[in-house]
Amino acid sequence: MRVLLVNTNIEKAPYPVPPLGLCMLANALADRHEVKIYDGVFDEGKGLEALVIQFLPDVIGFSIRNIDDVVQDRQIYYLDGILEKFITPVKRITKATIIVGGSGFSIFPTEIMEITGADFGIAGEAEAILPVLLDRIQSGSSTSDIPNLLTSFSKKVQKGSGFAFLKPAAANFSEIDKWIDFSPYLVKGVYSVQTKRGCSHGCIYCTYPQIEGRKFRTRSPGDIADEIEQAHKRLGYITFEFVDSTFNDPGGHAESICREIIRRNLKVRLRTMGMNPRHTSDELFDLMARAGFVQIDATPDSASPRMLENLNKGFTLDEIEKMARLIKKFNIPTMWFFLFGGPGEDEVTFRETTDFIDNFVNPADLVYMNAGLRIYPNTPLHKLALEELRFAAGDSLLQPSAYYYSKKISKQVLNDLIRSASLTRPHCIPALETAPSPQMITEALELRRLDGFEEPMFRTLIRIRAKWRAAGKI
Ligand code: B12
């Protein structure tokens, strides 16, 4: 069959992300079908109808990644745009079978089946399931035993009977640049790499275990290094970004990956999202520095012992402090993320976190301060919100107004605390202000040019903020 996979994500902040999952799916289908990917990030749907008319796909798969921006005071909602720019125009001109999937879809599968009117949906990873579904569509046979499938008839996630070849996969090679025009990402973007799937942590608000499963399934370090080495040869200067829920889990995996990169002397630029404070050590940071890490994210959410428990983070304040010392010692530029307003947050716990920032975080590093926890279905936070009668059992959480705030501190007071904390600390930024003004960016670019800085842009922006604040400009 001719299969068209469509990336409907047009968000370009904080930077455009390549459609990693779709490329993995394309690889899984390529030996049996003729596959194309339409990457909507930059074209935003404009060329899609023409492509459908020319390629005449039998099946079109839409990837739905983002539902909303998870910033309570901004509440960007992406689904209307996805319908308007991608799904509705395509449905007008073709009778192709429509399938939906993706991480956003996997959180709200039933609602999104309803809204999109798709024929099928797959919740969670789809490398094993999509080829089976396509076979069944082609042969016209029953799909009722396929796990994680939704159909236009039932719109419920099927338990299915599961068959041997649906063994859950660890991530695979994506060869992103084979499937899409990668050149825009070379200007402002990264090459995404997944080193494992799954997350066995139990943070009360989080969707990751639901999307990826609860068990870590790791790829071999050799396979990961092969992917990075080959992409580096093809693309040259690009930062590789690990997109795992937490990079250094399960303990020892990150160390093995770094060792393999060092052994091959790859000379690449690496960055990663979440680091788990529990599995950090001198050895890990030394290996990361030598492997080529130019930036990491530290996402403890809180530095209040009480809040760490309430959020069920699975690590302690001592462990966060240890990680912060290592970050300073190895001077790895870091973006810190804190999330205020969870169950039990009050002014004391807020101050515990700002005390930690003052005592342990390098002032050259960025600190994002976010307020309100997005409530997702089937999470412990959802259960708590139901118990506290904030929602009724049947209420949909799809609309981006479903947030949890501690009863012990009002939203207004929390926002005021964040604002005043950021006024005295140029490196602390409320989530709403994450996009710097064009003047600030211009001045930062000029400073980088004059001084030849190679530091991450966020560090230059902090310098400018500090200067502007001292001059009373902000
Ligand atoms: C890594 C990551 C980031 C990184 C991205 C770095 C990068 N280089 O890509 C950063 C930190 C930049 C980021 C930013 C944001 N993110 Co983010 N991110 C993730 C994360 C952890 C992994 C995404 C990923 O790459 N997965 C790996 C690939 C291989 O999987 P995949 O693409 O999902 O594809 C698989 C399946 O979904 C499925 N599939 C995919 N497409 C299709 C299509 C069809 C037809 C089918 C059948 C199946 C299918 O099969 C694929 C292969 O198995 C997810 C959470 C998660 N665990 O999924 C959140 C997540 C996607 N992010 C989310 C959000 C909200 C954002 C931001 C909007 C936050 C913000 N305000 O800045 C931005 C948007 C950025 C952008 N430009 O789009 C939310 C989306 C849910 C929601 N509320 O909307 C998620 C789900 C986290 C959450 N809160 O639950 N993110």
In a domain, 236, yes or no: yes
Q: Do 135 and 215 sit in the same domain of this protein? A: no
In a domain, 474, yes or no: yes
Q: Name residues contacting ligand 1 (CB within 6 A).
A: 9, 11, 14, 16-17, 20-22, 24-25, 61-63, 65-71, 99-104, 106-107, 122, 125-127, 130, 190, 192, 194, 207-208, 211-212, 241, 243, 245, 273
- Mean pLDDT (whole number) for 51-65: 98
Select from 165, 200, 234 the last residue of a domain: 165
Element spanning 5, H or E: strand 2-7
Select from 116, 150, 165 the last residue of a domain: 165
Q: Do 443 and 468 sit in the same domain of this protein? A: yes
- Examine the pLDDT at 165 and tell me if it is beyond 60: no
Return d(Cα 113, Cα 386) in angstroms, integer: 24
Return d(Cα 433, Cα 76) in angstroms, integer: 14
Q: Do 410 and 445 sit in the same domain of this protein? A: no
Q: What pLDDT score does 163 carry?
A: 59
Q: Read off the CATH number of the domain in which 205 is found.
A: 3.20.20.70
Q: What is the pLDDT of residues 405-435, one digit of tens each?
A: 999 999 999 999 999 999 999 899 998 877 7
97 pLDDT band (50/70/90 cuts)? very high
450 pLDDT band (50/70/90 cuts)? confident
In a domain, 178, yes or no: no
Q: What pLDDT score does 162 carry?
A: 58
CA 20 – ligand 1 centroid, Å = 9
Q: Do 425 and 379 sit in the same domain of this protein? A: yes
Pocket probe for ligand 1: among 8, 10, 15, 103, the residue whose CB has the most ligand atoms within 8 Å is 103
Q: What pLDDT score does 454 carry?
A: 79
- Examine the pLDDT at 440 and tell me if it is beyond 60: yes
Q: Read off the CATH number of the domain in which 133 is found.
A: 3.40.50.280
Closest to 19 (Cα-Cα) out of 66, 79, 52: 66
Q: Do 82 and 198 sit in the same domain of this protein? A: no
pLDDT mean across residues, the chain: 94
172 pLDDT band (50/70/90 cuts)? confident
Question: Which of these ranges, 90-104, 124-138, 328-342, 387-401, has the smallest mean pLDDT?
Answer: 387-401
Residue 245 corresponds to which tokens in the numbers above?
Answer: 């829920």
74 pLDDT band (50/70/90 cuts)? confident
Please give the tally of structural domains in the chain: 3
At position 364, the amino acid (one-letter code) is A
Q: What pLDDT score does 152 carry?
A: 96
Pocket probe for ligand 1: among 143, 186, 243, the residue whose CB has the most ligand atoms within 8 Å is 243
Ligand 1 atom nearest the C-alpha of 122 is: 47
- Cβ pair 308, 349 in contact under 8 A: no
Q: Rounded to the nearest 5°, which phi and psi values hold at 84?
A: -70, -40
Q: Do 290 and 323 sit in the same domain of this protein? A: yes
Q: What pLDDT score does 77 carry?
A: 96
Distances (CA, A) of 392 to 64, 378, 381: 26, 13, 14
Q: For 256-262, which contacts have Cβ atoms below 8 Å and span 24 or more sequence positions?
A: 256/221, 257/195, 257/221, 257/224, 257/225, 257/291, 258/284, 258/287, 258/288, 258/290, 258/291, 259/221, 259/287, 260/221, 260/222, 260/224, 260/225, 261/225, 261/228, 261/291, 261/292, 262/287, 262/290, 262/291
Q: What pLDDT score does 166 carry?
A: 66
- Cβ pair 37, 369 in contact under 8 A: no
Q: Do 204 and 286 sit in the same domain of this protein? A: yes
- Examine the pLDDT at 271 and tell me if it is beyond 70: yes
pTM of the full structure: 0.96
CA 355 – ligand 1 centroid, Å = 32
In a domain, 180, yes or no: no
Q: Do 157 and 226 sit in the same domain of this protein? A: no
Q: Do 212 and 259 sit in the same domain of this protein? A: yes
Q: What pLDDT score does 362 carry?
A: 95
- Examine the pLDDT at 394 and tell me if it is beyond 60: yes
Residue entry with tokens 């999104």? 112
- Mean pLDDT (whole number) for 262-289: 96
CA 219 – ligand 1 centroid, Å = 19
- Cβ pair 398, 334 in contact under 8 A: no
Select from 165, 181, 206 the last residue of a domain: 165
Bridge partner list, 7: 39, 63
DSSP classification of residue 68:
B
In a domain, 109, yes or no: yes
Return d(Cα 342, Cα 302) in angstroms, integer: 10
Q: What pLDDT score does 256 carry?
A: 98
Range of the domain at 65: 2-165
In a domain, 112, yes or no: yes
Give just the sign of the alpha carbon dihedral 458, 461, 463, 465.
negative
Return d(Cα 174, Cα 230) in angstroms, integer: 11
In a domain, 128, yes or no: yes
pLDDT higher for 230 or 458? 230
In a domain, 183, yes or no: no
Q: Do 353 and 463 sit in the same domain of this protein? A: no
Indicate the SS3 state at residue 4: strand
Q: Rounded to the nearest 5°, which phi and psi values hold at 240?
A: -95, 130
Q: Do 461 and 424 sit in the same domain of this protein? A: no
Ligand 1 atom nearest the C-alpha of 189 is: 8
Closest to 350 (Cα-Cα) out of 299, 307, 318, 393: 307
Q: Do 77 and 220 sit in the same domain of this protein? A: no
